[in-house]
Structure 1
Amino acid sequence: MPKAWEKLDLQGAGVQSLQIRLQKLQKKSLWGYLYWCCFPVGAHRFYLEQPWAWAFPLVSMAIVALAFLGLTWEAVGFAVALCVAALWDLSRIGPWISAYNKDLRKASWFARQTPAAPADYQGRADTREHPMLWQRELQDYTQTKESERAGHPAANAPDRKGFAPGQRRLSFAEQERLLAEMAKSAKSTAAENPPDSTEK
């Protein structure tokens, strides 16, 4: 199914427009690793807006200058240090991208200004008239539970047990006993009325 609608920016301050802008601003892992290939100039650090990005081109220029002056071992030492730093950066590109995108999302979402309430708004009016159905049910349930004691049913609980409305629910032991009696009666009925044997 084509997803062209996901790229349709409706503008405004809606969530859809915000998501599109975030996708454009977020850093991509592919670009981060591709820029790392140009680590002598610190391209990956500039892309991810990491500190000390300028150190890579300075060290690269120092290596070229030392090699031009004939200081081979010094140039090799700087080159090894640069490669070690680049390999360490390679292991940090993923976490850097995740942290950058997370901070970007937080800044974008928290920057949205929620419209304030009207000047004369004083909250929801509570007239305490005509309580809602759930409030009445909660009061009835609370009164029923408060009238019970541990291990004893409520005083006004119905005596008849069963599964029909208005009847007390069977306990687990009573349900097990009922199932055992039903299975026993089914077996006795089957024994009294055996199936007719087929005549050959």
Structure 2
Amino acid sequence: MTNVLIVGASGAIARHVIAFLRGNDSLNTTLYLRNAARLADLDTTAMRVVEGDVTDTARLTEAMQGQDIVYANLTGDMDVMARVLVDTMDAEDVKRLIFVTSLGIYDEVPGKFGEWNRREIGAYLPPFRRAADLIEASDLDYTILRPAWLTDKDDLAYETTTRDEPFEGTEIARKAVAAYIMTLLEDPSKDIGGNIGLSKPGTDGDKPAFM
């Protein structure tokens, strides 16, 4: 059985992952978040729930013990949290990390959509880029994800690009990002060292359709 720690478990993408994990007997799941009440509407039967802040090293270390995979879906001071997470994983000899950042951190989004994206969120991206750089400089078996603009559609379709390829598409459903994450949890050897852009096929345009 593989032990999985979800850090930031109340996040919108993580909630879909938790739903996908229900009844999966091959994955033993620990949910780490600041307020367990935020999961009250989800079926977390047989999942361990730990309340704590990512920057609380002692609490995170406790949750990290015995884990095989860490999936982090965080908001806030991304670079600060990434540093604590990497250091704690190193201390506990946990190697596999799945870490969600954002499209645009490498200025990899082309054309008019890239220009629009920079105007909308460019000022917020430096901490995401620093977090990704820190993880890539570590000795962890990481996969960094850069999803497009997120929707709440009931949709599992996704396509991927690498760090060195122009980003494709403008949007993707959170549920589809969760579906891709599940492929990594079920096959931890997949996309190790990958820096993956995620979008829905056929959504190219000057900006997301919902904007």
TM-score, normalised to structure 1, is 0.19
Which structure has more helix as a fraction of its residues?
A: 1
TM-score, normalised by the number of residues in structure 2:
0.18
Larger radius of gyration: 1
Q: Select the structure that is richer in strand.
A: 2
